Amino acid sequence: MSDVRVHNFTISLDGFATGAGQAPDAPFGHAGERLHEWMFATRFWHQMRGGRGGSVGADNAFAAMHGPGIGAEIMGAGKFGPPGWQDDPGYKGAWGANPPFHTPVFVLTHRPRPSVEMEGGTTFHFLDASPAEALSQARAAAGGRDVRLGGGPSVIRDFLTEGLVDHMHVVQVPILLGRGVRLWDGLESLEEAYQIEAVSTPSGVTHLTFTAKNR
Ligand SMILES: NC(=O)c1ccc[n+]([C@@H]2O[C@H](COP(=O)([O-])OP(=O)(O)OC[C@H]3O[C@@H](n4cnc5c(N)ncnc54)[C@H](OP(=O)(O)O)[C@@H]3O)[C@@H](O)[C@H]2O)c1
């Protein structure tokens, strides 16, 4: 069976994956861009934005694992758009006309709407479903390839609780946010289910890889 993978999911030292006060011009709230500066420096990021340059070191090696082998993504309503996007019937997500997914994307929301086809192969489907049901639909759409779990922290936490995540790459950056949405709450003893490795890189971040022991 195909794997469920999390990539480039970034948290602060105190475990927050987003700051407080998410808004259209502040998708990570008061965290601003501080969580992802490590990634903005990589070639992976430059290429994803259609540009050139960027580092090809260890951070890039981790970041570039985001795309290969992925056939669909699942994300939460909080990643798809800022609070209240459900009130705008024409809202099409935070990534412009050609989103960087290029696969079917299943958006978990309690207020589903008709699917939206974007440029570049991304189609957003909106689901009010349990994690297991959403995964079943995403796997069917992925055509044998893996399913990426894109976040945010609430959705990743729910899938971890259900034991549905096979591989997870978490990046811990040396900042303290103090408030926002935390990843780890309620996941006591998660380490028992995973083989965990940690690698710190010259940029100052620590890459943590979680590999499910039952895979
Ligand atoms: N640090 C990172 O690497 C990273 C990565 C991705 C995103 N983010 C950030 O994370 C933040 C969003 O995270 P979040 O934890 O607030 O929200 P989230 O995990 O994206 O989404 C949670 C929401 O999704 C809907 N939902 C979840 N499970 C559902 C289910 N089974 N059925 C129906 N609807 C369901 C609910 O919204 P409704 O009840 O409103 O429908 C729920 O409140 C954003 O700031 C984003 O920028 C960070």
Scanning 25-162, the segments in alpha helix (DSSP H) are 37-40, 43-48, 58-63, 77-80, 131-142, 153-161
Q: Is the CB of 28 under 6 A from ligand 1?
A: yes
Average pLDDT, the chain: 97
Question: Which class in CATH covers the domain with range 4-16+69-83+97-212?
Answer: alpha beta
Sketch the domain layout of the chain as residue ranges: 4-16+69-83+97-212
| pLDDT band, very low/low/confident/very high, at 164 (cuts 50, 70, 90) | very high
Distance between CA atoms of 28 and 105, rounded to whole angstroms?
Answer: 21
Of 40, 110, 161, 171, best ligand 1 pocket probe by most atoms within 8 Å of the beta carbon: 110
pLDDT in tens, 101-135: 999 999 999 999 999 999 999 999 999 999 999 99
pLDDT in tens, 168-190: 999 999 999 999 999 999 999 99
Q: Which of 194, 188, 191 is nearest to 167 (CA)?
A: 194
How far does the centroid of ligand 1 lie from the alpha carbon of residue 82, in Å? Answer: 10
Say if CB 212 and CB 166 are below 8 A apart.
yes
Structure tokens at 97: 């006309």
Q: Which of 25, 101, 73, 55 is nearest to 201 (CA)?
A: 55
Closest ligand 1 atom to Cα of 17: 1
Say if CB 5 and CB 164 are below 8 A apart.
no
What's the DSSP call for residue 12? E
Residue 214: the pLDDT is 86
CA 23 distance to own-chain centroid: 18
pLDDT in tens, 30-61: 999 999 999 999 999 999 988 999 999 999 99
Pairing of strands 116-117, 123-127: antiparallel
Residue 93: the pLDDT is 98
Average pLDDT over residues 205-215: 95
State the pTM of this model. 0.97
| pLDDT band, very low/low/confident/very high, at 138 (cuts 50, 70, 90) | very high
Residue 1: the pLDDT is 86
